[in-house]
Structure 1
């Protein structure tokens, strides 16, 4: 895909400096307010679902119900338990580093934004995660509230309403639109706080042991795999875990670090294991979603966000594609981006099954094997949901051995806080 490491890092640093995206302490008043809102089940139509319900610390800030049964429940139910979403619930952890979406004309990639399809661009509030936080309140298959007025009214009646006024000033509830947006900003502050962004994993300890850098670990000067020396020693990693990181980095092995960067985010921040871009991995349709949620249209991902992409790139080309709905209708898409979904962070990945935008993979072992063997006919993988724009240069036929797959999985399990 020709990832744009330098551009991504530069763009992120600008956002970090100008947008105030630095992590907050858990006792910061704005983050404290956000924590209250994040955990408030009254902010749902049946008063039974909060942000934390589907983004819980026990599940790496993803959905604990999905984790318990990832094959049968690849997507989450809402406040109304008979309604299900159409995509896998992603982690809320470490997402606050994602920049406001922009288009990089050199690489022809879209970078940043939130949600699997990037629809929370950050262009409205200057912060993608604050925009994302507001979406579930008014989504009928999630928290299911009827209006911004209802959301603001619940917060105004809550026990933490005084803290809201202390943070945002007297009269902070008078303008419903402003108050609603400030609810998103408060949740974003919580999700950036050290209650969520911990950097406490085994990987972080190994990163420190290696002198605060692991980019290129286990590779030669050109990025190719270089076996660990026989006398390799670490007080943190087992040999298998270190071998997994080497394979993860190597361009001629897993090449996972092409998208899940192991380079430092900035001078003071460890790797985030994402480059914030979008990719079509060739994942098949997950039939279980249709069983739970009813007939599912074709999911074109980023490519269906025509208005958002047009705002960022004047040269986008549109075309009508089949919607996949029973009426046989068509949908306008950006052809170059169909089938692409956000590259997630891999931090806490062991805790967040299932995997992929539609939860097709119930285990790390299965999705790792898919990356390795998707294009090997004898493996029998189903066709991709969207066949155009599939990444065939960085995955699909990696020729990894079973032991190498297992080592990569062992490494990914060290990313748990």
Structure 2
């Protein structure tokens, strides 16, 4: 079965599930989303207090971090990677393997999806947990400590809703309630408005892009090869997510300690240095770029893709040169005008609701009219049933999958 077949199954599956659910479940999701926002903003949960989720996911940067790496709660401790945007994060597929049919007829299994840039968290539910306990981030010592803080929070009564007294006394259940709340919050329509000009253009509005952006779109689809990994068509969601969520080693400039990426937890030598392709939605707001924040501007990113192999001294060494993709980038042959046009196109990927939020200095974007509610779209979310099926056995997984105590630093 090809990747295209797998994705078609993902698109059709939710339609069969859409009738499931109940009014009580819908109410619980709404309650969890509300308290999830409180958890997201709460800077008293870190140790020492002062760091919240929003500290590293700043609204003006499309809920990414404009710093290369984020400082943690403990002075002098910094994160390992650039904190990525939370816009559309709830739509990233769960970490899984898909089979790709090669030109020679052979079958190749590849990793797709997953949270954190190396895919070391298979689901969003697993991802939201780790920053609490990462010593370079919120530095909470244990679930017992986190649960104790949550019970003292101003929103504790709402968080407790639906839990018995015995469950409220169970540290693991209280902490899990907070994780679920964060997940439901990140599913909210404000994080997935699909109101960028590229959305209007793809929906048939030929005036939504400027002539320069249209030229850039042609480069994006053809000579620049961008659309090979940043799909302009719908896959697992009714609108395009602008990524295939696959993994590659782009040969980005080294910064700090060597980072093995995907290979750090799959333990496969050919996968060291690989990171997940991000969505390009709101990319113009999320500088600096790449997993380590090593490139400052979008134009420089495109110049890197275009001339990496022609000007190696400009970019410097990369962490794992032996696994760098030399076939699809590094010498694209783009002219200066084509680079300029492609850079201009990136502005068309910005959600207008985010731009209005920035203009007003607000913390969250407004709800875009017509954006479907989370409950209506529940079966489209990768997290729709709060679980992930077992991984397929091709090839055998060689790492310690989702063993939190053995995983590398998050972000």
TM-score in terms of structure 2 length: 0.76
1:133 Cα offset (Å): 0.7
1:9 Cα offset (Å): 5.4
Report the equivalent of 2:82: 88
Report the equivalent of 2:142: 147
Contact 1:372 1:397 in 2 (8 A): yes
Question: Structure 1 CA distance, aligned partners of 2:47 and 2:15?
Answer: 35
CA spacing shift, 1:282–1:152, aligned 2, 3 Å: same
Q: Which runs of 5 or more structure 2 residues have no equivalent in the other structure?
A: 21-25, 100-106, 352-411
1:75 aligns with 2:74: no
1:35 Cα offset (Å): 0.8
1:186 aligns with 2:181: yes
**Paired residue secondary structure (2:111):** strand
Moved over 4 A (4+): 11-20, 167-171
CA spacing shift, 1:168–1:236, aligned 2, 3 Å: farther
CA spacing shift, 1:179–1:237, aligned 2, 3 Å: same
CA spacing shift, 1:410–1:172, aligned 2, 3 Å: farther
**Paired residue secondary structure (2:176):** helix
CA spacing shift, 1:301–1:399, aligned 2, 3 Å: same
1:167 Cα offset (Å): 4.8
Q: Which runs of 5 or more structure 1 residues have no equivalent in the other structure?
A: 67-73, 122-127, 211-233, 291-295, 307-332
Report the equivalent of 2:278: 344
Question: Structure 1 CA distance, aligned partners of 2:161 and 2:170?
Answer: 16
TM-score in terms of structure 1 length: 0.75
Question: Structure 2 CA distance, aligned partners of 1:16 and 1:367?
Answer: 39
Deviations 1:308-354 (Å, cap 9, x if unpaired)? xxxxxxxxxxxxxxxxxxxxxxxxx3112111011111111111111
CA spacing shift, 1:77–1:414, aligned 2, 3 Å: same
Which of structures 1 and 2 has the larger relative contact order (alpha carbons within 8 angstroms, sep 6+)?
A: 2
CA spacing shift, 1:17–1:385, aligned 2, 3 Å: farther
1:389 Cα offset (Å): 2.3
CA spacing shift, 1:401–1:36, aligned 2, 3 Å: same
Report the equivalent of 1:31: 33
Deviations 1:342-389 (Å, cap 9, x if unpaired)? 111111111111100111100001111101111114764323210122
**Paired residue secondary structure (2:49):** coil
**Paired residue secondary structure (1:195):** helix
CA spacing shift, 1:380–1:271, aligned 2, 3 Å: same
Question: Structure 1 CA distance, aligned partners of 2:58 and 2:17?
Answer: 30
1:235 to 199, 207, 211: 207
Report the equivalent of 1:305: 265
Report the equivalent of 1:104: 98
